[in-house]
């Protein structure tokens, strides 16, 4: 009996070991099969790009791989359309591919990079993929003054040529041209979305001028790589058939000889809109006369009797984005006054060739020199007669 019980016990233990062994083999087989099934998923290689829109011409394309990869087939088979010479550089232990164009990406272009199929270092395959990207576009103009085809144009520091852009042009060199004439002075806002320009030489009356704007990427060293982004033309205002004496000296001589004092006590300023001459009198005696430029048609300098309300060596006009040196306010609300030729923040001063012609927005402009004399001579409260 004891021997039989012992045999039964041994057989039971053997069967248990056998069953456990079978379970272990089955579990191992299932585990191995499962590992084989999920291994490619666990160690799959994902491919992605960091940026695909608004790429600068010298900006590299960065492609990230979720794990390190073998690079030989990628080197051999990677392609781009449209075709460009490429420079490939691997980083981060073959997890990061940096692609650059030694000759710069073309502006306003759309590219497609084809990454060939390959293997990760964990021996899992990854499929080929395509990555599309686009480069920045040339600046787009949102507005122009004067508009293409405009006539009767009079340019002035208060009415300059103006180009507005939809976005900042900070990544571009811009070349503004006017023909005939050539050079232009300009200022721009901090965002580089607006440019104000004036020809450096006086424009002729009744003549057609063409305007052109060219642009190139700021890091492009080729002088021939500018692209024309605007072309238009305008015609300046024809010369009036009848104007006061063109010779300023003769006109001033006539003013000094024939201008009659309208106030005979104390100082006063006499402004003749028809002759565009400002005269200063003291106790009925003419002190001197100077050429001026008053308000243009539609923005005429108001006629009437006024007085100097305040004075300042230099005031800023927020409305026009320029300085008005030697300011003498005439209107009680400060909307117009007497001042030296206005100037842009950079110091560019324009308008000397407009003295004797009404081109301002209502103020009375004096040339350099005469403005200083009148400013120093005038006191607050000095009468001003405009007729």
- Indicate the range of 14-23, 228-237, 316-325, 356-365 predicted with least confidence: 14-23
Q: How far is CA 366 from the centre of its chain?
A: 33
Distances (CA, A) of 127 to 118, 301, 365: 7, 76, 74
Does 31 have pLDDT greater than 70? no
Strand 150-153 vs strand 227-236: parallel, antiparallel, or unpaired?
A: parallel
- Indicate the range of 17-31, 260-274, 301-315, 324-338 predicted with least confidence: 17-31
Does 19 have pLDDT greater than 60? yes
pLDDT class of 250 with cuts at 50, 70, 90: confident
Q: CB neighbours of 117 closer than 8 A, spacing ≥ 6?
A: 73, 125, 126, 127, 128
- For 17, the enclosing helix (H) or strand (E) is helix 2-42
Which pair of structure tokens corresponds to residue 206? 């009744």
* C-alpha triplet 359, 363, 364: angle, nearest 5°: 85
Residue 18 has a pLDDT of: 64
Say how far apart CA 136 and CA 264 lie, in whole Å.
Answer: 69
Mean pLDDT for the stretch of residues 246-256: 86
Say how far apart CA 371 and CA 342 lie, in whole Å.
Answer: 11
Model pTM score? 0.77
Q: Yes or no: say if 137 and 169 are a contact pair by the CB < 8 Å rule.
A: no
Say how far apart CA 67 and CA 46 lie, in whole Å.
Answer: 8
Does 71 have pLDDT greater than 60? yes
Which residue pairs, CB below 8 angstroms and at least 24 apart, start in 186-193? 187/321, 187/344, 187/345, 187/346, 187/348, 192/165, 192/168, 193/164, 193/165, 193/166, 193/167, 193/168, 193/169
| Nearest CA among 118, 115, 120, 116 for reference residue 39 | 120
Q: What are 39-57's pLDDT values in tens digits?
A: 455 557 889 999 999 999 9
- For 212, the enclosing helix (H) or strand (E) is strand 208-217
| Nearest CA among 286, 290, 285 for reference residue 249 | 290
Across all residues in the chain, what is the average pLDDT?
A: 89
Residue 39 has a pLDDT of: 46
Mean pLDDT for the stretch of residues 253-277: 94
pLDDT class of 359 with cuts at 50, 70, 90: very high
Domains parsed from the chain with CATH numbers: 47-134 (2.60.40.3710), 141-236 (2.60.40.3780), 248-386 (2.40.440.10)
Say how far apart CA 363 and CA 356 lie, in whole Å.
Answer: 13
- Indicate the range of 42-46, 193-197, 207-211 predicted with least confidence: 42-46
Does 332 have pLDDT greater than 90? no
If phi over 0 gives left and psi between -120 and 50 gives alpha, with beta otherwise, what is residue 44? Answer: beta
What is residue 314's three-state secondary structure?
A: strand
């Amino acid at each position: 009996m004891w021997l039989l019980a012992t045999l039964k016990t041994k057989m039971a233990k053997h069967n248990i070991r056998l069953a456990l062994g079978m379970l272990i083999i089955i579990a191992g087989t299932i585990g191995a099969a499962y590992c084989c099934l999920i291994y490619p998923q666990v160690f799959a290689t994902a491919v992605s790009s960091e940026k695909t829109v608004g790429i600068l011409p010298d900006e590299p394309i960065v492609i990230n791989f979720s794990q390190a990869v073998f690079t030989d087939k990628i080197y051999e088979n990677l392609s781009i359309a449209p075709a460009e010479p490429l420079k490939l550089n691997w980083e981060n232990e073959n997890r990061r591919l940096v692609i650059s164009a030694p000759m710069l990406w073309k502006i306003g272009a759309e590219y497609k990079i084809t990454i060939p199929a390959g293997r990760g270092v964990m021996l899992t395959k990854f499929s080929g993929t395509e990555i599309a990207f686009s480069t920045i576009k040339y600046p787009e103009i949102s507005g122009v003054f004067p508009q293409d085809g405009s006539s009767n144009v009079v340019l002035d520091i208060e009415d300059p040529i103006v180009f507005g852009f939809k976005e900042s042009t900070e990544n571009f060199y811009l070349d503004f041209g006017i023909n005939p004439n050539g050079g232009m002075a300009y200022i721009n806002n901090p965002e580089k979305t607006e440019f104000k320009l004036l020809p450096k030489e006086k424009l002729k009356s009744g003549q057609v001028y063409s305007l052109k704007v060219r642009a190139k990427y700021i890091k492009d060293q080729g002088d021939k790589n500018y692209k024309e982004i605007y072309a238009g033309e305008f015609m300046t205002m024809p010369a009036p058939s009848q104007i006061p004496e063109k010779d300023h000296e003769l006109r001033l001589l006539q003013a000094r000889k024939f201008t009659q004092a309208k106030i005979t006590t104390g100082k006063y300023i006499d402004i003749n809109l028809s002759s565009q001459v400002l005269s200063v009198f003291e106790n009925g005696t003419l002190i001197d006369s100077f050429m001026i430029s008053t308000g243009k048609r539609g923005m005429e300098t108001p006629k009437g009797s006024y007085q100097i309300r305040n004075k300042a060596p230099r005031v800023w006009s927020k409305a026009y984005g320029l300085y008005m040196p030697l300011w003498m306010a005439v209107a009680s609300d400060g909307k117009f006054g007497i001042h030296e030729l206005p100037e842009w923040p950079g110091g560019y001063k324009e308008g000397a060739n407009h003295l004797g012609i009404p081109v301002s927005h209502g103020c009375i402009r004096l040339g350099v020199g005469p403005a200083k004399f009148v400013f120093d001579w005038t006191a607050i409260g000095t009468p001003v007669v405009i007729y």
